[in-house]
């Protein structure tokens, strides 16, 4: 069986640690992909030191040359797309068609960011003084820590690594412990694409040990994190104490709002897609349906019908619509939320139990679940579940729908179903989420469009799109005086 290795200073090295973690296939726990050694703090420090040493020459490499390496990584991902998609499914559980989608998103992001390398421009600014002007340049921070979750184990690392590298930073990458195989393959691709030794380092290890060592190392000047609020807020505090830049993309509780004039078929299909696609394990998954009473009975009965029609199974099979939950701890956590929903008095209308039919017994399968008559105070209306569970909240009208949709600490994504232009634009004005969709699911995004959340979801710059490089660069302002004389008058 494969033992995953760290990548430090351009070399693949096995950790000396005796602590290990088995990378099992969530669709079939008899299938073990490999073993992760949980790196020591000393190994994590070595990775940061190697990134710090490589910074000087990497920042001096012309930006378009750095971009060309990222473009090559995009091509290598494209060449190996099918293998990578299958590895992703075996490791994380999403269906192979969802994996292909994630790979394509990753390729798109890398291509887009490679192009940005020829557009890393500043401003030129006329001066109040004759024969003077000012300009700005964008410069890298130094060593950046990239800490990522398991649910998009290829795309999220790519949308952080690509801009970090193009901007001229060196990186220490700490992926989620339970997705080491895809992380390893991704780093191999960047290395093969020509990233020089020390510029990109991979450390496999637990967040609380190796991860903690990396993010708190004095040479790390910026931390880009995606994951849970508990961990993200802690990193934010630690970074604040050292005065370093931080970007955290965290939880969501994304609502779809369905009004009485909505195309109900479209609303039902999109809600099911958003709630149960990727087994509900997307940060932008639809978690709440806020439905106007007038159409609620019809909406619920059709969503239930749709949920029941979904085929659970190993994501490798073309027949599968919904794959397993990623691991036993998430599995228990989702089941616990289903109990909480029942205890709090929500009406369970479908699912709510482990799926243990033929071919499912060795995996972490939970039936797509819908709770009706959920009230805004219930925990299943407020807390992120991160599984195939939809909470339906009934409201009397559009005003109440907006109020209920916004009554939530998170602010990642949302959507509205109506054909009334005035209400669409009022929704866009008033909904408190970083991204919103009109008559389409809460999920989905494009490489060249910014991505991010507000409220408790997001800290720091948005990622991707025109904002992709914002977090990874800082400005330098340059004043140029070509009079050749002592300055006349004062600038304040
Ligand atoms: P997590 O438990 O917060 O872990 C995320 C990463 O942080 C992992 O690599 C983890 O390592 C590491 N980590 C944990 N403790 C750390 C510490 N003290 N110092 C440094 N690193 C540490 O999140 P997850 O369970 O993997 O992912 C699910 C969460 O991600 C959900 O809340 C979801 O909403 C969120 N998410 C948000 C977005 C978005 O864009 N808003 C996108 C995707 C996912 P270990 O694996 O070793 O614990
Ligand atoms: Mg796994």
Domains detected in the chain: 2-250+457-477 (3.40.605.10), 254-438 (3.40.309.10)
pLDDT score, position 421: 98
207 CA distance to ligand 1 middle (Å): 8
Say if residue 490's pLDDT is above 80.
no
Mean pLDDT for the chain overall? 98
Q: For a pLDDT cut of 70, what percent of the chain falls above it?
A: 100
pLDDT of residue 3: 98
Instruction: Quote the ligand 1 centre to 174 CA distance (angstroms).
Output: 10
Kindly write down the DSSP assignment for every residue of 100-124, as one continuous string: HHHHHHHHHHHHHHHHHTT-----E
Site to substitute for ligand 1 among 26, 207, 456, most atoms within 8 A of C-beta: 207
Q: Please report the pLDDT score of residue 123 as a whole number.
A: 98
Q: Whose CA is nearest to atom 43 of ligand 1?
A: 283
Q: Output the six-digit token pair for 229.
A: 């609020």
For residue range 458-474, list pLDDT tens digits in order: 999 999 999 999 999 99
pLDDT tens per residue across span 46-57: 999 999 999 999
Distances (CA, A) of 183 to 34, 161, 178, 243, 444: 13, 11, 10, 29, 22
By most ligand atoms within 8 Å of CB, the mutation choice from 109, 152, 231 for ligand 1 is 231
- Residue 91 designated active-site: no
Of the candidates 338, 287, 284, 281, the residue with the CA atom closest to the CA atom of residue 315? 281
Residue whose CA lies nearest to ligand 1 atom number 42:
283
Q: What is the mean pLDDT of residues 221-232?
A: 98
Known catalytic residue at 409: no
3-state secondary structure 307-331: HHHCCECCCCCCCCCECCCCCHHHH
* Active-site option among 249, 384, 408, 463: 249
pLDDT tens figures, 359-401? 999 999 999 999 999 999 999 999 999 999 999 999 999 999 9
| Burial annotation 384-397 (CB, 10 A radius, 16+ → b, else e) | bbbbbbbbbbbbee
Distances (CA, A) of 77 to 48, 168, 250: 26, 21, 27
Condensed to tens digits (0 to 9), the pLDDT of residues 242-267 reads 999 999 999 999 999 999 999 999 99
Predicted confidence band of residue 492 (pLDDT cuts 50, 70, 90): confident
Span 41-48, mean pLDDT?
98
Cα–Cα distance between 186 and 182 in angstroms, integer? 6
Tens digits of residue pLDDT in 277-336: 999 999 999 999 999 999 999 999 999 999 999 999 999 999 999 999 999 999 999 999
Residue 438 pLDDT > 90: yes
pLDDT at 159: 98
Report the nearest-CA residue for atom 18 of ligand 1. Answer: 208
Mapped onto helix, strand or coil, the DSSP state of residue 337 is helix
What distance in Å separates the CA atoms of residue 69 and residue 37, rounded to the nearest whole number? Answer: 29
At 403, is the pLDDT very low, low, confident or very high (cuts 50, 70, 90)? very high
Which of the four pLDDT bands, split at 50, 70 and 90, describes residue 489? confident
Check whether 172 has a pLDDT greater than 80.
yes
- Which has the closest alpha carbon to 180: 364, 5, 386? 5
Instruction: Count how many Cα atoms sit within 13 Å of the Cα of residue 218 in the half-sphere of its side chain.
Output: 0
Ligand nearest to the CA of 226: 1
pLDDT at 1: 87
pLDDT in tens, 66-121: 999 999 999 999 999 999 999 999 999 999 999 999 999 999 999 999 999 999 99
Ligand 1 atom 19, closest CA: 212
Q: How many CB atoms lie within 10 A of CB 49?
A: 18
Measure CA 7 to chain center.
23
Summarised one tens digit per residue, pLDDT across range 114-169 is: 999 999 999 999 999 999 999 999 999 999 999 999 999 999 999 999 999 999 99
């Amino acid at each position: 069986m494969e033992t995953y290795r760290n990548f430090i200073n351009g070399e693949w090295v096995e950790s000396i640690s005796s602590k290990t973690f088995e990378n099992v296939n969530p669709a079939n726990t008899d299938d073990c992909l490999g073993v992760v050694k949980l790196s020591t703090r000393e190994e994590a420090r070595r990775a940061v030191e190697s990134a710090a040493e490589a910074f000087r020459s990497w920042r001096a490499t012309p930006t378009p040359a750095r971009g060309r390496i990222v473009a090559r990584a995009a091509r290598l991902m494209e060449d190996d797309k099918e293998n990578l998609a299958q590895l992703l499914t075996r490791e994380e559980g999403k269906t192979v068609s969802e994996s292909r989608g994630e790979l394509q998103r990753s390729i798109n992001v890398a291509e887009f960011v490679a192009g940005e390398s020829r557009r890393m421009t500043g401003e030129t600014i006329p001066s109040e003084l004759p024969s003077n002007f000012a300009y700005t340049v964008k410069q890298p921070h130094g060593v950046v820590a990239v800490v990522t979750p398991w649910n998009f184990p290829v795309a999220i690392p790519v949308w952080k690594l690509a801009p970090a590298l193009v901007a001229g930073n060196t990186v220490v990458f700490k992926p989620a412990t339970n997705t080491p195989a895809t992380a390893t393959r991704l780093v191999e691709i960047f290395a093969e694409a020509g990233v020089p030794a020390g510029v990109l380092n991979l450390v496999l290890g637990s967040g609380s040990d190796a991860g903690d060592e990396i993010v708190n190392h004095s040479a790390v000047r910026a931390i880009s994190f995606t994951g849970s609020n508990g961990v993200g807020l802690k990193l934010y505090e630690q970074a604040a104490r050292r005065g370093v830049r931080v970007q955290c993309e965290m939880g969501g509780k994304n609502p779809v709002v369905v009004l009485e004039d909505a195309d109900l078929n479209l609303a039902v299909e999109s809600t099911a897609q958003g709630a149960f696609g990727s087994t509900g394990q997307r940060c932008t998954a639809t978690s709440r349906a806020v439905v106007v009473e007038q159409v609620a009975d019809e909406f619920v009965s059709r969503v239930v019908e749709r949920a029941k029609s979904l085929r659970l199974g190993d994501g490798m099979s073309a027949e599968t619509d919904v794959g397993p939950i990623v691991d036993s701890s998430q599995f228990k956590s989702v089941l616990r939320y289903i109990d909480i929903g029942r205890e709090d008095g929500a009406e369970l209308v479908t699912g709510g139990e482990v799926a243990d039919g033929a071919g499912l017994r060795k995996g972490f399968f939970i039936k797509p679940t819908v709770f009706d008559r959920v009230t805004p105070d219930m925990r299943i209306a407020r807390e992120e579940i991160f599984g195939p569970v939809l909470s339906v909240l009934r409201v009397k009208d559009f005003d109440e729908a907006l109020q209920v949709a916004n009554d939530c600490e998170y602010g990642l994504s949302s959507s509205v179903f109506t054909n009334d232009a005035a209400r669409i634009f009022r929704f866009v004005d008033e909904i408190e989420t970083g991204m919103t969709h009109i008559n389409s699911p809460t999920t989905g995004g494009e490489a060249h469009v910014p991505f991010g959340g507000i409220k408790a979801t997001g800290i720091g710059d948005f990622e991707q799109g025109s904002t992709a490089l914002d977090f990874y660069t800082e400005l330098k302002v340059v004043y140029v005086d070509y009079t050749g004389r002592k300055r006349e008058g004062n600038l304040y």
